[in-house]
Chains A and B, each alone.
Chain A
Amino acid sequence: MAVVEMQDLTKVYRPFLGGLGVLAVNQLTLDIEQGETFGLVGPNGSGKTTTIKLLLGLLYPNKGRCRLFGKKVFAMSVKERIGYMPEAPYFYDHLTGEQLLHYYASFFAMSKSRRRERVEALLSMVGMQERRKMLLRHYSRGMLQRIGLAQAMINDPELLILDEPTSGLDPIGSYQIRNLIVELKHLNKTIILCSHLLGEVETLCDRVGMLHRGNLLACGTLEELLPEAKEARVSMQVPPEAETELSAMGLSPECEEGLVSVLAPVGQLDPVLDVVRKCGGTLFEVRRSRQTLEQFFVQKVREREVVTP
């Protein structure tokens, strides 16, 4: 049984006095399995946040349904098993970081000692022990993101929904959050990661779903979406006769700043390497390229816009 099930999920935002609505999510059908890290990507206004809100029961769908752990999303037993970190979190600025975690922990059936344990563990996990007594109003953006992640984890959830977890963070902060997510993956948590940063999604996610104007453009593993290229680029330092030999093989060597590079089919790699060895040249790099997620996404969006301008 999938942890997250969405079937023909549709959401239209209608103005209060009637009129044409905005189709935010259009017949979204998607399942997310236990232990999977699923990346939900798309530009602004693509329906990512709406989808998340539908899963959390903050919005009600116009059509279709969504279930978590096989139950309705509003069920309290479901809420006990999920954690949510909103985008650019804002919390109660009269509380300290520690108090905030205790506050959110109070909604779960936890003993006081268990609550204390969890709070301690989470403060340590997100690196906020020293700032635990500081009021949230004095927290930087990065600190708020960390405490946001901590509160999402307060109940040790099976399903984590993270909306832009590294948004606004410096490189070190982003790196630390990414490491935390990797740790959570190893704990077999199911994670839904919403992000603009496609590079991050590529690094962390097992499967990716691409939304554009409420429609699911593509969904699959990175291997499925981004097959490895059938060519490789070989960079080397070789005498001119080696270039001639490479041209005779039907390849087009390019020379730049003393370095010769050639794009060769995978099947021809060995002969190319033989040429380098034979002429006593130096091999610098063999790189088998693949389309990036960003390139794939842009390509898909452009295709879509041609079909439905």
Chain B
Amino acid sequence: MRSIKSIATNMVGEALNRLIFQVILIFGVVFMVAGFFFTYLDPGEEGKMLKDLGLTTLTIFGMLMAIFMAVSTITPEVERRTIYCLIAKPVKRHYFFLGKFLGSVVILGIACLVMGLVLVLALYVKEQVWSLELLSAVGLTFVSLSIMSALVMTLSTVASPMLAVVGGFVFWALGYAQGFMHQLAAHADNPTSRGILESLGSLAPNLQVFDIRAAMVDQVYIPPSYYSWLGIYAVMYLVVVLVIGIIAFNQKQL
């Protein structure tokens, strides 16, 4: 456990110093603040548009950060051979993997928190109301980003960085198309087609269920049971992906 904490802390320090993280975070904040100025186009719906734009910006930039961060966890360590010194120390391979994942999650958490607070502040300036309920949408976005990060990390243990990035974007698209697959399955003619469509849908995590932006913006009530089920689903999927990643990384010839 000590190893996991050390590796995670080192990774956070490394990422905070890395240009790509800084650029993505700054751009995210800039886009969010820019949305503040575009809303003058529609005086009646300014708050709604700012919330939509802000949460969407957070999702997009968060996803970019999750994918690029995850790709840069393992491959650069192998390429630069820094992993050799680590594995030569009493560090189990799965602790290394988990430490890197924990580091990614912390970075994503920082990014989501910063962008979320900027959005809440921008809304306060616009509407003189603290829209703290948006933070639950930010929180669920963070959970979906963590799942994406785990997926891309697992991919990067077996594929090249470029392939892992492409795979990340494919999973992102599939993840958001889940609702559509579910609708298609619901309208399927026979149980076999329904089963196939639902199974195909299960190959990628359903990221769309974590997307409660619309509900938050339109102030639609979300019962606590929904959050509980999301938590269960997220934990199960994360365990699946991380275990596969650990097995793949343990088999990897360094």
Interface residues of A, Cβ cutoff 8 Å to B: 53, 56-60, 76, 79-80, 82-84, 86, 89-92, 94-95, 103-104, 106-108, 151-152, 155, 161
Contacts and interface: CB of A to CB of B under 8 A. Distances in A.
B254 A53 contact: yes
Interface in B183-232: none
A107 B90 contact: yes
B80 A90 contact: yes
A94 B17 contact: yes
B81 interface: yes
Interface residues of B, number: 21
Interface of B: 2-3, 6, 10, 13-14, 17, 80-82, 84-92, 253-254
A89 B85 contact: yes
Given A76-B90, A95-B13, A86 B2 contact: no
A79 B90 contact: yes
A161 B3 CA distance: 22
9 contacts: A56-B88, A79-B88, A79-B90, A82-B88, A86-B85, A90-B80, A104-B85, A107-B91, A151-B85
Given A58-B254, A103-B6, A108 B90 contact: yes
Contacts of B88: 56, 58, 79, 82-84, 161
A92 B14 contact: yes
Contact of B92 (A76, A82, A106): A76
Given A83-B88, A84-B84, A104-B85, 4 more contacts: A86-B81, A107-B2, A107-B90, A107-B91
A59 B6 contact: no
Given A57-B87, A106-B6, A107-B3, A90 B81 contact: yes
Most chain B CB within 10 A, of A60, A95, A107, A151, is at A107
Contacts of B17: 94
A84 B85 contact: yes
Contacts of A57: 87
Given A79-B89, A82-B88, A92 B82 contact: yes
B89 A107 contact: yes
Contacts of A155: 89
